[in-house]
Amino acid sequence: MSDYSELEIEHFMLDLLPKLQSKVNQRFEYVERQQIIVGKTFLSEASPPIIKMEKGRVYYKLILENQNDFGGYSASVYGFIRRKDGAVFRAATWKQPETRTKTAIRGYITDEFCLDYFTANGVTYAL
């Protein structure tokens, strides 16, 4: 638990986003890109997924968007951050975090090593 204001938590959040994007980009460069044949053309993931943030009443929702060659995209929830204290949660559904388990809070974004709570695909599982 921390004694940070919501404004400070938002600052931590905005500082964390480029670091998470870097983690996603590193994984994108490491993994072989698959090509899918559609008709006579090859489709590939030409650009890495982008992490976006939506500000809600209680949580920040982190969204991972994949763009395709046709200009469309698919999106999945990367995780949730509670606005009042910076607690990190995994996603239960598109609209809400997982809060019913004993280890619902994975950590806080105000921690020194907060990047350890995230992978390239989302929030880590509790050990």
User: Residue 64 pairs with which residues in a beta bridge?
Assistant: 51, 76
Look up the pTM and report it: 0.81
Amino acid identity at 22? S
Cα separation, 85 vs 55, whole angstroms? 14
Most distant CA pair in the chain: distance in Å? 58
Whole-angstrom distance, CA of residue 122 vs CA of residue 5: 25
Domain segments of the chain as ranges? 6-117
For the segment 1-56, what is each residue's pLDDT rounded down to a tens digit?
A: 458 898 999 999 999 999 999 998 888 776 655 555 555 555 555 678 889 999 99
What average pLDDT does this structure show over 75-97?
93
8 A C-beta contact, residue 98 and residue 104: yes
pLDDT greater at residue 28 or residue 124: 124
